[in-house]
Amino acid sequence: MASLIGYYSLIIGLFCSLLTIFYSIKNFNDNNVIKKEVLLFTFLQFFFVIISFLGLIVSFIISDFSNETVFNHSHTTKPLFYKISGTWGNHEGSLLLWLLVLTLFIFLFLLKSNNQPKKYRILTLAFQQIIITGFFIFLIKTSSPFNYIFPIPSEGLGLNPILQDPALAIHPPILYLGYVGSSIIFSSALAATASGYISKDWAKHIKGWVLISWFFLTLGILLGSIWAYYELGWGGFWFWDPVENVSLMPWLALTTLLHCILALEKRSILTSWAIILSIATFTLSMCGTFLVRSGILNSVHTFANDPERGLFILIFLFSLIFLSLFIFFYFHKNENKNFKFFLLSKETSILVNNWFMMYFLSVILVGTIYPIFLEVISSKKISVGPPFYTKLIIPFLIPFLFAMAIGPKLKWIKSDVQNKINLIIFLVISFLISFLILKNLNDNFLLNSILLTSAFYLFFITTKDFMIKKVQNFSQNLAHFGFSLLILSILLNNIFSTEVITNLKIGETFKSKNLSINFQSMDQKDEQNFKSLIGKFKINSSKDETIILKPELRIYNQPNIITSEADIKISLLKDRFITMNSVKNQNYFNIRYQVKPFMIWIWISVLLISFGGIISFFKKIYEN
Amino acid sequence: MYGRKVKLRFFFILSAFLILVLSIALILKSLEENVVYFQSPSEIKELLEVKKKKIRVGGMVKNDSISIKSEELEFIITDFKSEINVVYSGAIPNLFEEGKGVVAEGFLKDKNFFIATKILAKHDENYMPPEVKEALKEK
């Protein structure tokens, strides 16, 4: 029943979006107000998508196995929380969530843009409706979440256990708010270009949307990363996996746009840049969806390999790119040619930021796309691993960090660096600290110490700004401070992480020079939908106190999968991390013990960065 | 001859172009160095020489081939046509099992011995790396 309501709501929603397009075209040259019909149908569309989404959630909660999506991804013994999060833990449901956020955002946009020119509003609506219609058709035609199966199975297949996790339950909605938020920026940039509204006013208006999507995107990536850290058991936070890369690329584009919009808002320069970046951000988000959903990239995100779906998104993506390029080249006229750029000015530093960001973006783009490209043309299978990215990104991080330390201090138009002595003193201090920290390190001393120096430099400068300029530009200071903390923690974490991997039987002890791991015992526990084996490990290291860690192996009933749950002892200075894996029919357990310094600061710093965004957002609302 | 402005603009475009070319060259060069190729056991048997480059080998873990000691793990990867012995010490993913698909990354010692530095995790029991699927299909 719920499925049926959900399905028909979708169809009605599609009609609403067609009607909205129809009325907006009719309304385009009329008077200066937006017709009631347009607003009404936009609201109805949003309403019906909500109904449809609720329909799916209800089907999941009551375990209605006549629904194919529920059958494939749910099970009666699954806890209620994961029944609900299972709604978007699959291809069909997650697309419905996309659609929900798309319609929510355009509705909010219409409500919140009353003071903007009418033409611009109606065009934004039209472009957004084109995207929405595309997704409606995609959902109904290739991946309906409401397919019926008969005879009705008595039990479902269950949700992949590694998705049964609190962080991952909220990861998709948060990430989608960021992804889909960029669709508004895309539509609005096209509308502003077509109606000749690219100006300071537009920048002011769209900045809020940029900030909010950026906030959610940052948070979404953070959640995915934390999840990968403790659930996948590798003990890292970023693996340069294509699936991670496709979320980082829109983030880089959006971050660049965020800085570029500032220049546009204050000085009405870099207009073309802003448009291109707005287009790029959404295109990259769509690209990510395409790569992840089409089954080209294999990961936990690939729910089913269906070429038809991939083809649809690909065609849709290319039509959108074509449309936006056409609008850009046809309507956009570059004005303000006579602006002078001085070498030392905020404009230049923003441009420098943009160039670096674009470089990082292209490195990741090549690393992600090239293997796919090569396989298509030569059927050779390759993979591009972390060394590629570290080699290309790390060296450029050094000038980037220095530029980031100096850049925000410069003024608009023309400026001079003040307090030169201060800056130099900080540089010397940073270098000395890095030297002291690293002096016992043998390999890669030079690169590491320069890197660490630049990171410390940025850290000190932002800390100082943070302390002195307390109120003025608080959000920017906070975000930059967070970023410096992030780079610093990543570097120290990378340099000083240690790990031991060994195979142990129950009762055995691993011993090395300053560490002993004693596998004391193994307990069994029965939970609602899994059986849990809990190992008890006593870890002694020469410097620290003795700690007990209890990693877990979970044997899920449906689907029958074993997952391992890491046990992590978190402290401000370091995480101690242990995972245990079994090998079937063997007495040995594979033990991985890691010491990861400053791990928690990586998460905290990303939180600080995203808070910078949200504070700026609220400040903007407050000012209006 | 030309105004200062024209010169500046020319200089700007030239430097932007140079930077672009340089960064593309840099990206392509390190791509070439850091790419890891995938090969099946049969393809390895047909190799003319054993290179010192990192590769990936994929196939099925042969039944009754896993033997585990405290420091290392030995097993055989097969594509039902050829086999290769693998020695590995490191973290073992949960879904590593006899009779299931596996991808190992590492270095060839010779055509029969592979020293793995990483065994790739899979995310669910039905999932098979596309490379493995293809390697098995070709048999």
Tell me: the pLDDT tens digits for A34-47?
778 888 999 999 99
B75 forms bridges with which residues in the sheet?
A: B86
State the pLDDT at residue A347.
83
Please check the confidence at residue A233 and state whether its pLDDT lies above 80.
no
Provide the pLDDT for residue A369: 86
Are A586 and B68 within 8 A, CB to CB? yes
Task: Give the closest of B36, B70, B89 to A385, CB-based.
Answer: B36
Q: Can you tell me which residue has the tokens 């850009």?
A: A328
State how far the Cα of A53 lies from the Cα of B5, in Å rounded to an integer.
Answer: 59
For the cut 80, the answer to whether the pLDDT of residue A516 exceeds it is yes
| Residue of chain A whose alpha carbon sits nearest to that of B70 | A503
Beta strands of chain B (E only): which ranges?
35-39, 55-61, 67-68, 73-78, 83-88, 101-108, 113-119
Q: Where are the alpha helices (DSSP H) in A195-241?
A: 200-231
The pLDDT score that the predictor gives to residue A306 is 64
In terms of CA atoms, which chain B residue is nearest residue A381? B38
At residue A384, does pLDDT exceed 90? no
> What CA–CA distance (Å, rounded) separates A185 from A203?
11
**pLDDT digits over A309-350, tens only?**
777 888 888 999 999 999 998 888 766 555 666 667 888 888
Interhelix angle A91-112/A271-293, nearest 10 degrees: 160
Task: Please give the ipTM for the structure prediction.
Answer: 0.77
Give me the pLDDT at residue B138, please: 59
User: What residues 25-84 of chain A have any CB closer than 8 A to a CB of chain B?
Assistant: none
Of all residues in chain A, the one with the smallest CA distance to B94 is A581
Which residues from chain A sit within 8 angstroms of residue B130, using beta carbons?
298, 381
pLDDT, position A296: 67
Determine the residue among A503, A504, A552 to mutate to test chain B binding: the one whose Cβ has the most chain B Cβ atoms within 10 Å.
A503
Q: Tell me the shortest Cα–Cα distance from B48 to chain A, in angstroms.
A: 18
A359 inside 8 A of chain B by CB: yes
Q: Which residues of B touch A382 (CB under 8 A)?
A: 35-38
> What is the average pLDDT score of chain A?
86
Give A585 to chain B, closest Cα distance, Å. 9
Please name the member of A503, A553, A581 whose beta carbon is closest to the beta carbon of B69: A503
**Average pLDDT in the A261-278 region?**
87
Shortest CA distance from A578: residue in chain B? B91
Nearest chain A CA: its distance from B69 CA (Å): 7
User: What residues of chain A, 360 to 399, have a C-beta less than 8 Å from chain B?
Assistant: 362-363, 366-367, 370-371, 380-385, 387-388, 391-392
Q: What per-residue confidence (pLDDT) applies to B126?
A: 52
State the DSSP code for A161.
Answer: G
pLDDT-based confidence at A103, cuts 50/70/90? very high
Q: Note the pLDDT of residue A322.
A: 93
CA dihedral angle for residue A310, residue A311, residue A314, residue A315, rounded to 10 degrees? -150
Question: Do the Cβ atoms of B23 and A508 come within 8 Å?
Answer: no
Interchain CB contacts (distance < 8 Å): A and B: 108
* Residue numbers in A near B26 (CB within 8 A): 392
Minimum-distance CB partner of A370 among B31, B90, B125: B31
**B123–A559 CB contact, under 8 Å:** no
Residue A102 has pLDDT above 70, yes or no: yes
* pLDDT for the residue numbered A297: 66
Distance separating alpha carbons of residues A156 and A47, to the nearest angstrom: 30
pLDDT < 70: residue spans in chain B = 1-3, 121-139
Q: Is the pLDDT of residue A200 over 70?
A: yes
Q: Is A508's Cβ below 8 Å from some Cβ in B?
A: yes
Contacting A residues, span 478-507, partner chain B, CB-CB under 8 Å: 501-504
Could you say which of A299, A359, A508 has the minimum Cβ distance to residue B23?
A: A359
Q: Which pLDDT does position A203 carry in this prediction?
A: 92
Q: Which of A160, A579, A586 shows the shortest C-beta gap to B124?
A: A160
Contacts of B72 in chain A (CB under 8 A): 503
CB contacts of A391 in chain B (<8 Å) are 30, 34
Selected residues 285-314 of chain A with any CB under 8 Å from a CB in chain B: 298-300
Residue A205 has which token pair?
A: 């208006």
Q: pTM to 2 decimals?
A: 0.90
Chain A residue numbers with beta carbons less than 8 Å from the beta carbon of B71 are: 502-503
Of the candidate ranges A202-216, A356-370, A413-427, B81-95, the one whose mean pLDDT is the lowest: A413-427
Contact (Cβ atoms closer than 8 angstroms) between residue A423 and residue A417? yes
Residue A337, number of CB atoms within 10 A of its CB: 5
Q: For residues A469 and A243, which has the higher predicted lDDT (pLDDT)?
A: A243
pLDDT: which is higher, A542 or A358? A358
- The beta-carbon contacts of A334-338 under 8 Å, at least 24 apart in sequence, are A334/A271, A334/A272, A335/A271, A336/A268, A336/A269, A336/A271
Residue A307: its pLDDT value, please?
A: 67
- State how beta strands B113-119 and A530-541 pair: unpaired
- Interface mutation target, options A512, A590, A592, chain B, most CBs of B under 10 Å: A590
Q: What is the pLDDT of residue A49?
A: 95
Cα of A534 to nearest chain B Cα, Å: 15
Q: Which residues of B touch A (CB under 8 A)?
A: 19, 23, 26-28, 30-31, 34-38, 56, 66, 68-73, 89-98, 121, 123-125, 127, 129-131, 134
What pLDDT digit, counting tens, does each position of A600-612 carry?
A: 999 999 999 999 9
A358 touches chain B (CB under 8 A): no
pLDDT: which is higher, A252 or A391? A252
Residue of B nearest to A501 (CA): B90
CA separation for the pair A322, A314 (Å, rounded): 12
Cα dihedral A406, A407, A410, A416 sign: positive
User: Which residues in chain B are contacts of A394 at CB distance < 8 A?
Assistant: none
DSSP tag of A152: P
